[in-house]
């Protein structure tokens, strides 16, 4: 186990100063008018001995860590897991690393995590904010550290944001159900003030209004157990004799499907928000409102990188279209 080689070792070996080596290594040779001959000599030597600067010392001096903080709702949910994977590989190419944590929608944990990441001097944040995190995000902004929100945002706060067009997605899905001839269409949501939920709910309501239909809405507690969710969904669907349901998240839809299996009732026509392996495979396969995961990840990173480079001033809000993937669960209703 050899000792790590330092920039001073290089300077000594070549009989020049540390400063010169540093300038050359940081692509400032031209700017600092270092002769080409010396530049080449240094570069060659550095390559030969395989010198790598100490990132910690570098970070301490520059204040930049090249680490981004990813604060996500739940890494084990495929929607977030997939976004995380895409984000990770994108920033990787730019020399950034990701340090992440799941909040499970617990605002206190989120606050603590952000504080810790801040203390570690991450260069920027990507956050799916839980209810009540507005103040913390505001503080970050005031500390001049780049933050991009995704999936949801705070209406009262000017922030960068990337998300799907939840209103239109829910609107289209609901319209599709109406067109297929369903008459008693329910909507399942969460007790939460998060914007994406509000938008989906509004999309559903608007479509129901347009079609002059009565609306049925059931909310589930965010911290409800699987059992509790299943129970309330069973009651909602059966007691209202719904012939179609729009679920506002993939895991709510999965709870619904589990309920139908457990309590042995026939799941009516249904649509889920966010695609999932399970939806493609079930018999019948499930129609979904699919968020453009790849585009969301790309835009998140683009905006964050631009901001890190100080290339944008005004906040950017990107709303990307969803896609309604029509499958077997919403075939036209046969009226008896």
Applying CB under 8 A, the residues found at the interface with a second copy are 1, 52, 54-57, 59-60, 65, 67, 74-76, 78, 81-82, 84-85, 88-89, 92, 97-102, 116, 119-121, 142-144, 254, 257-258, 261, 276-278, 280-283, 285
- Residue 211 interface partner, choices DNA, a second copy, none, CB cut-off 5-8 Å depending on type: none
Q: What share of the chain is helix, strand, coil (3-state, %, to 5)?
A: 45, 15, 35
H-helix or E-strand spanning residue 185: strand 185-190
From candidates 1, 2, 33, 212, binder to DNA by CB under 7 A: 33
- Residue 7 interface partner, choices a second copy, DNA, none, CB cut-off 5-8 Å depending on type: DNA
Q: Pick the closest to residue 294 from 101, 135, 137, 164 (CA basis).
A: 164
> Among the candidate windows 55-63, 184-192, 242-250, 275-283, which touches DNA by CB under 7 A?
55-63
- Residue 16 interface partner, choices DNA, a second copy, none, CB cut-off 5-8 Å depending on type: DNA
Q: Pick the closest to residue 329 from 267, 255, 274 (CA basis).
A: 267
> Among the candidate windows 24-32, 154-162, 215-223, 257-265, which touches DNA by CB under 7 A?
24-32
Q: Is 26 in the site for DNA (CB under 7 A)?
A: yes
From candidates 13, 19, 210, 221, binder to DNA by CB under 7 A: 19
> In 178-207, which positions are buried (b, 16+ CB within 10 angstroms) versus exposed (e)?
bebebebbbbbbbebebbbbbbbbebbbbb
Q: Give the span between the Cα atoms of 94 and 69, in whole angstroms.
A: 15
User: Residue 73 or 160: which CB sits closer to a second copy?
Assistant: 73
User: Residue 26 or 179: which CB sits closer to DNA?
Assistant: 26
From candidates 13, 49, 60, 116, binder to DNA by CB under 7 A: 60
User: In 21-87, which ranges are E strands?
Assistant: 67-72
Q: How many residues bind DNA (CB under 7 A)?
A: 26
The DSSP-derived string for 284-335 is: SPPEEEE--HHHHHHHHHHHHHHHHTT---S--EEEE--EEE--GGGPPP--
Q: Is the peptide bond before 113 cis (omega within 30 degrees of 0)?
A: no
Q: Is 16 in the site for DNA (CB under 7 A)?
A: yes
Q: Give the span between the Cα atoms of 171 and 179, in whole angstroms.
A: 12
Q: Pick the closest to residue 324 from 288, 285, 279, 277 (CA basis).
A: 288
User: Residue 203 or 256: which CB sits closer to a second copy?
Assistant: 256
- Residue 332 interface partner, choices DNA, a second copy, none, CB cut-off 5-8 Å depending on type: none
User: Residue 25 or 326: which CB sits closer to DNA?
Assistant: 25
Q: Give the span between the Cα atoms of 318 and 160, in whole angstroms.
A: 8
> In 35-44, which positions are buried (b, 16+ CB within 10 angstroms) versus exposed (e)?
eeeeeeebee
- Residue 258 interface partner, choices a second copy, DNA, none, CB cut-off 5-8 Å depending on type: a second copy
User: Residue 34 or 127: which CB sits closer to DNA?
Assistant: 34
User: Residue 135 or 193: which CB sits closer to a second copy?
Assistant: 135
User: Residue 33 or 311: which CB sits closer to DNA?
Assistant: 33
Q: Is 251 in the site for DNA (CB under 7 A)?
A: no
Contact 292, 320 (CB under 8 A): yes
User: In a 3-state reduction of DSSP, which class is residue 67?
Assistant: strand
- Residue 32 interface partner, choices a second copy, DNA, none, CB cut-off 5-8 Å depending on type: DNA
- Residue 8 interface partner, choices a second copy, DNA, none, CB cut-off 5-8 Å depending on type: DNA
In DSSP terms, which residues pair with 323 in a beta bridge?
A: 290
> Least separation, in Å, of the C-beta of 126 and DNA?
25
Summarize as ranges the residues that interact with DNA (CB under 7 A). Answer: 4, 6-8, 15-20, 22-23, 25-26, 32-35, 38, 53-54, 57-58, 60-62
């Amino acid at each position: 186990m050899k000792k790590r080689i330092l920039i001073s070792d290089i300077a000594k070996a070549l009989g020049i100063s540390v400063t010169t080596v540093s300038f050359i290594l940081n692509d400032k040779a031209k700017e600092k008018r270092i002769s080409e001959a010396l530049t080449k000599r240094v570069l060659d030597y550095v390559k030969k001995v395989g010198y790598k600067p100490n990132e910690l010392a570098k970070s301490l001096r520059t204040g930049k860590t090249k680490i981004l903080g990813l604060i996500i709702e739940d890494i084990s949910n495929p929607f977030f897991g997939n976004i995380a994977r895409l984000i990770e590989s994108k920033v990787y190419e730019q020399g950034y690393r990701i340090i992440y944590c799941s909040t499970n929608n617990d605002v206190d944990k989120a606050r603590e995590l952000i504080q810790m990441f801040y203390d570690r001097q991450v260069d920027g944040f990507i956050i799916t904010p839980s209810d009540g995190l507005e103040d913390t995000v505001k503080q970050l902004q005031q500390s001049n550290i780049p933050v991009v929100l995704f999936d949801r945002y705070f209406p009262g706060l000017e922030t960068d944001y990337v998300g799907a067009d939840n209103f239109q997605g829910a609107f289209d899905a609901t319209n599709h159900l109406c067109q297929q001839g369903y008459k008693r269409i329910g909507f399942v949501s969460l007790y939460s003030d998060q914007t994406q939920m509000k938008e989906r709910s509004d999309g559903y309501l608007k479509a129901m209004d347009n079609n002059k239909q009565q609306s049925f809405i059931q909310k589930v507690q965010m911290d409800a157990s699987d059992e509790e969710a299943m129970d309330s969904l069973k009651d909602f669907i059966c007691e209202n004799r719904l012939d179609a349901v729009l679920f506002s998240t993939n895991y709510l839809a999965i709870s619904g499907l589990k309920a139908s299996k457990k309590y042995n009732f026939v799941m009516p026509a249904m649509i889920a928000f966010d695609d999932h392996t399970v939806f493609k495979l079930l018999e019948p396969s499930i129609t979904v409102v699919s968020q453009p995961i790849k585009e969301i990840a790309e835009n998140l990173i683009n905006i964050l990188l631009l901001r890190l480079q100080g290339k944008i001033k005004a906040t950017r809000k990107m709303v990307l279209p969803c896609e309604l993937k029509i499958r077997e669960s919403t075939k036209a209703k046969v009226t008896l």
